A = this chain, B = another copy of it.
């Protein structure tokens, strides 16, 4: 079946994201250096993020609240005002951070948009994701934008049904095996994995090696050629 629609993840596929979270986490480690070792801090933060995920969802605001909660736990409930101020500032800086497309993204999307409907499919804070897309200058290349609270098979079935000609005629492309690749394959779509050097622990999964509709690509620049082989 001919591919009509290409879904693209945003964070760490079109632009840097996890790097910013890691930089903020490094800053948080430095801030808390006198009360906790880096390893203990990372473990505590990861546990708190996991615990809060069902209430906060994905995105910078929930991350900021989880950082504050981690600071509370690590200081016996009495963090210094400087720590709180610095976490709030770090959160605001992440939200206001300039957005620059990753290498090759603009060229690949411009080429793909000639042949396919492009749909941006991303998790995170609604307003922040819209703002990043606007700041990236890539908005006009997409036929549709779907900011979703969770990426599972039913999400992909719904989105490719609404904005394309169904999952069987669609390919999803992103850096997360867990969110972009596995559920898209499960929905009946093709899926390409383009790894980003960093992956949030929550997004880890094993690659579906040998799956007939799956490809591992080194860069988004390889996406047009792979899609062309699908007929």
Kindly specify which of A123-131, A200-208, A214-222 makes contact with the partner chain: A123-131
Distance to closest chain B CB from A154 (angstroms): 13
- In the complex, the count of this chain's copies comes to 2
Q: What sequence of 0s and 1s flags, for each residue 52-70 of chain A, a beta carbon within 8 Å of any chain B beta carbon?
A: 0001111001101100110
A77 at the interface (CB under 8 A from B): yes
B88, A72: Cβ atoms under 8 Å? yes
Give 15 CB contacts A-B under 8 Å.
A55-B95, A55-B96, A64-B65, A65-B91, A69-B88, A72-B81, A72-B84, A75-B81, A76-B81, A77-B81, A77-B82, A78-B81, A126-B126, A126-B147, A130-B149
Instruction: Look across to chain B and name the residue whose beta carbon is closest to the beta carbon of A66.
Output: B88
A92 at the interface (CB under 8 A from B): yes
Q: Once bound together, how far apart are the Cα atoms of A69 and B213, in whole Å?
A: 49
When distances are taken between beta carbons in the complex, the residues of chain B under 8 Å from A57 are 125-128
Task: Identify which of B61, B78, B149 contacts A56 (C-beta below 8 A).
Answer: B61
Distance to closest chain B CB from A165 (angstroms): 17
A85 at the interface (CB under 8 A from B): yes
A195 at the interface (CB under 8 A from B): no
